[in-house]
């Protein structure tokens, strides 16, 4: 339960992308899985949650993720 709560405290979009990368990655070759992981990361770069995470880290505060 502690692990689930820790995961749920992260940005919803990031958690969704990670789950998808893990699930699909298990069904791919290593090279395809790594390529999919890079694509998943690149989908996260323009999100407001990513910016909020960086700002919160720099400001030493807990992030307020919105799922966008």
Q: How does pLDDT run across 5-63, given as a tens digit for each residue?
A: 999 889 999 898 888 888 888 889 999 988 988 888 898 899 999 999 999 999 999 99
Specify the pLDDT at position 18: 87
Specify the pLDDT at position 37: 85
pTM over 0.85: no
Give the residue numbers spanning the domain of 38.
12-57
Which residues, including other chains, have CB under 8 Å from residue 65's CB and lie 6 or more apart?
10, 11, 12, 49, 52, 53
**What is the separation of C-alpha 62 from the centre of its chain, rounded to a whole number of angstroms?**
16
Integer Cα distance of 46 and 58 in angstroms: 18
Integer Cα distance of 63 and 68 in angstroms: 13
Residue 41 included in any domain: yes
CATH code (residue 44): 1.10.12.10
Q: Establish how many alpha carbons lie within 13 A of residue 35's alpha carbon, considering only the half-sphere containing its beta carbon.
A: 5
Integer Cα distance of 20 and 40 in angstroms: 9
Specify the pLDDT at position 64: 92
Residue 50 included in any domain: yes
């Amino acid at each position: 339960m502690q692990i689930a709560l820790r995961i749920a405290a992260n940005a919803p979009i990031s958690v969704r992308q990670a789950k998808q990368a893990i699930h699909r990655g298990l069904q791919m070759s290593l090279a395809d899985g790594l390529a999919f992981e890079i694509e998943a990361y690149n989908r996260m770069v323009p999100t407001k949650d990513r910016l909020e995470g960086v700002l919160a880290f720099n400001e030493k505060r807990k992030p307020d993720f919105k799922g966008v």
